[in-house]
Amino acid sequence: MRRLAFVFTSPPHTTSAGREGLDALLAASAFSEDVRVFFVGDGVFQLLRDQKPAQILARDYVATFGVMPLYDIEHVYLCGESLHERGLQDVTAWATACSVLPAAQMRAELAQCDVVLTF
Question: What is the secondary structure of 41-90 as a DSSP string?
Answer: GGGGGGGBSS--GGGGT----GGGGGGGGGGT--EEEEEHHHHHHTT-TT
The pTM of this model reads: 0.90
> Of residues 116 and 49, which shows the higher confidence score?
116
**Confidence at residue 46, expressed as pLDDT on a 0 to 100 scale:** 93
Task: Write down all domains in the chain, each with its CATH number in brackets.
Answer: 4-118 (3.40.1260.10)
Of the pLDDT bands very low, low, confident and very high (cuts 50, 70, 90), residue 14 is confident
Of the pLDDT bands very low, low, confident and very high (cuts 50, 70, 90), residue 21 is very high
